[in-house]
Amino acid sequence: MADKAASPNGSYNDNGFEFFKGLVEPDTINALLNMTEQVAGNSPSTFRGIIRKSTLTNKLIYVLQGTNFVPLDTFHWGLTPFISRVVGKPVLPAYSNFRIYQQGDVCKIHSDRVASEHGISLMIGSSDNKPWGLSVGHEFIEDPMNWRGTGKVKTACDDFGDEPFSTFEMYPGDAVLYQAINRRHGRLEPNPNRWTAHLFMFWVDRNGPRKDQAFDKKRHPASANYTF
Ligand SMILES: [Fe+2]
């Protein structure tokens, strides 16, 4: 059973998603965003990650993998006890990435890859402080590769079709936790800000069928050793 203090609405396990208003305070996300900007760049000529258009977006996005910038990975790992309390069982971090979306872009409705059992979308900055909604579907998709038994993948859609969904208007510091493999999600309305910055972080159940996806399948040594 999820800890109600960790899960203010107590709804994650019931609904498959939960909104956390102001999960991270402004000073901390400002520090993280500014550190990322200084180290990884902020323009096409300076950015050290990838600038690409994905199948889910209409415009170019900046993408930086957590494994390529240790502070992002470390922030992700630090949230793990909180996620375990909300989920009600131990989880391990899988992977994370940082993205910048530009004005007018959307994120088409989709579900995430197998390492994404529990995912958080955390907004860590925006140019204009205008809310941008993240929507999550109400239908539990047992097998994303076989949507409603059709044998088809229902992804990169412009809308939810006949599926009910909830939309959470997000400002910097706000987060949505969702079952990212089994709940379709996306941003239906164009981004009203000149840019927004986001951290996407994913976990798997420590003792579940996807536990091999922990740490993005990278094995860490069992123990450290120091000598003088
Ligand atoms: Fe996603």
**How far does residue 45's CA lie from ligand 1's centre (Å)?**
27
**How far does residue 106's CA lie from ligand 1's centre (Å)?**
12
**How far does residue 108's CA lie from ligand 1's centre (Å)?**
9
State the Cα–Cα distance between residues 178 and 138, nearest whole angstrom: 11
**How far does residue 56's CA lie from ligand 1's centre (Å)?**
9
pLDDT level of residue 1 (50, 70, 90 thresholds): very low
State the Cα–Cα distance between residues 211 and 218, nearest whole angstrom: 12
pLDDT in tens, 117-127: 999 999 999 99
Average pLDDT, the chain: 94
- For residue 132, give the nearest of 154, 177, 101 by alpha carbon: 101
12-217 CATH fold: Jelly Rolls (2.60.120)
| Residue ranges per structural domain of the chain | 12-217
Query: What per-residue confidence (pLDDT) applies to 8?
Result: 65
**How far does residue 121's CA lie from ligand 1's centre (Å)?**
9
pTM, 2 dp: 0.94
